[in-house]
Amino acid sequence: MGTENPESPGCYTEHGVSGYGVAAKLSAKEPMTEAFVKEMAEEMMLNIAGKCMDAGARCIGHVKSHVETRAGTIKADTIGVAHGAYSKGNLTRPVKDLHMAVNSIVQGIVEETVKAATLEGMHEVAHGYGLSVVKEKEHAYFDAFDFMASKEAYQKELEAQFDEAGKPDLNEEA
Amino acid sequence: MKITQIAGFLGCGKTTLMLELSRALAGNGKRKVAMVVNEIGEIPVDGKVAQGSGMQVMDIGGGCICCEVAATFAKTIYRLYKDFDPDHVLVEPTGVAVPHQVKLAARMGGRDAKIGLGPAIVLFDATRPAELLDMEMLGRLVTTQLKDADIIAISKVDAVKETEVADSSRRVRDYNAKAEIFNLSSFSGLGVDQLVDRILGWKE
């Protein structure tokens, strides 16, 4: 895949819409239950949305996330603080590690501002829930076309993707 | 191979509807259904969600299929036709795409494939009509999407009062006098069967 016309901005830029995506691996010292992960993810979505609005956004298109773990997946999203956040999915058992993709699409602020709000919002809530952001990568693809991969193969791909990113792109925390 | 797009602004429930429509259209194996999901946020969250449906899913990132990556979209359509030959392809453009441009891009893919276009279904979020229509820049985009619609689905009707649903219907009608307007609730399933009937019976 690729952008055929990288010099030309997308149609959405005419409407003041900016987006930012980041993938991260989060780890906890103690196993996290499904309820814990959902609560954390919902709070993260609202925190990011709130930071975007505080930075001057006029409308939240969406802030959405996909959480992949060895025990199942969770999806959480919001279309604005006033609308609340929602999550669905399930985990078959508590987990210590999770991979999370976050997309923020917002109207009224530039991409750099969306990026700052997204990263600050993610780190703030993760730390508040006692999670470490072990690795993170911008614009990472969680999977490229291979939607039929086994769960084990998929996890390996996720890990490999972070490894391939190289040390300069990784933001490792204790 | 009939290509139907599920358009509408971000957060209006497109992915949820896509998943429901794909299951309903497949009709317990009677028809082959594929999905094309496009996201501008670079990380294909929606594609991952769609993965759970067990359907053939193609995820296009890196830009918008109505402009930046229109050629990639056209190639994807051809690849689906050649490799999978589905009866129906459901396309979820980004929430900021313009439906008539998506149709043009799909037709590019149809130069080498036998395709027909289904309706452009545009969702309108009943929980935030003022947010969507009353802001200058955003309003222009949303009204363009509504004007391009063959069918308008007022989404999330279970989350608002009946009077608010009626208000949304009245407001979108101002922008499109011809489109059929449905009420839609992915929570209760309201409207899904009607949309399936329209897709199946749609003639260009």
Domain ranges of chain A: 15-168
Interface probe with A: pick from B96, B100, B104, most Cβ of A within 10 Å = B96
Whether the predicted pLDDT of B44 surpasses 80: no
Cβ within 8 Å, pair B60-A1 = yes
Cβ within 8 Å, pair B48-A10 = no
pLDDT range class, residue A142, cuts 50, 70, 90: very low
Residues of A in Cβ contact (< 8 Å) with B96: 10-12, 15, 17, 61, 105
The token duo for B160 is: 């608002």
CA separation for the pair B173, A15 (Å, rounded): 22
Looking only at the bridges linking them, the beta strands covering B151-155 and B33-38 are unpaired
Cβ within 8 Å, pair A15-B58 = no
CA separation for the pair B40, B94 (Å, rounded): 7
End-to-end CA distance of chain A: 35
pLDDT range class, residue A152, cuts 50, 70, 90: low
Residue of B nearest to A100 (CA): B45
Residues of B in Cβ contact (< 8 Å) with A103: 39, 41-43, 45
User: In the sheet where B2-8 sits, what is the strand order?
Assistant: B56-60, B33-38, B88-92, B2-8, B116-125, B151-155, B180-183
Read off φ and ψ for residue B133, nearest 5 degrees. Answer: -105, -25
Q: Are B39 and B56 in contact (CB under 8 A)?
A: no
CA separation for the pair A87, A64 (Å, rounded): 10
CA separation for the pair A121, A123 (Å, rounded): 6
End-to-end CA distance of chain B: 13
Residues of B in Cβ contact (< 8 Å) with A77: 11
Instruction: Give the count of domains, chain B.
Output: 1
Q: What is the CATH number of domain A15-168?
A: 3.30.70
Hey, how many other C-beta atoms are within 10 angstroms of the C-beta on B25?
23
CA separation for the pair A134, A121 (Å, rounded): 16
The predicted model gives B64-87 an average pLDDT of 86
Q: Which residues span the domain enclosing B196?
A: 2-201
> Would you state the pLDDT for residue A167?
37
Cβ within 8 Å, pair A62-B51 = no
A50-79 pLDDT, tens digit each: 999 999 999 999 999 989 899 998 999 999
Whether the predicted pLDDT of A44 surpasses 70: yes
> Would you state the pLDDT for residue B27?
87
Burial of B69 (0-12, 13-18, 19+ CB in 10 A): buried
Q: Are B6 and B124 in contact (CB under 8 A)?
A: no
CA separation for the pair B168, B151 (Å, rounded): 14
Cβ within 8 Å, pair A143-B138 = no
Looking only at the bridges linking them, the beta strands covering B180-183 and B151-155 are parallel
Nearest in space to B70 (alpha carbons), one of A100, A116, A71, A11: A11
Cβ within 8 Å, pair A11-B101 = yes
The predicted model gives A142-167 an average pLDDT of 51
Residue of B nearest to A14 (CA): B137
> Would you state the pLDDT for residue B17?
92
Nearest in space to A145 (alpha carbons), one of B65, B117, B59: B59
User: Which residues lie below 8 Å from residue B173, measured CB to CB, with a gap of 6+?
Assistant: B181
Q: Are A101 and A66 in contact (CB under 8 A)?
A: yes
- In this structure, which amino acid lies at residue B22? S
CA separation for the pair A42, A83 (Å, rounded): 12
> Would you state the pLDDT for residue B135?
84
Q: Are A35 and A125 in contact (CB under 8 A)?
A: no
Whether the predicted pLDDT of A153 surpasses 80: no
CA separation for the pair A63, A45 (Å, rounded): 6
CA separation for the pair A28, B107 (Å, rounded): 49
Burial of B159 (0-12, 13-18, 19+ CB in 10 A): middle
Q: How far is A130 from chain B (nearest CA, A)?
A: 25
B184 DSSP 8-state letter: -
> Would you state the pLDDT for residue A120?
97
> Would you state the pLDDT for residue A46?
98
- Residue B78 belongs to a domain with what CATH number? 3.40.50.300
User: Tokens 């001057």 map to which residue?
Assistant: A56
- State chain A's mean pLDDT as an integer: 81
Complex-level ipTM: 0.80
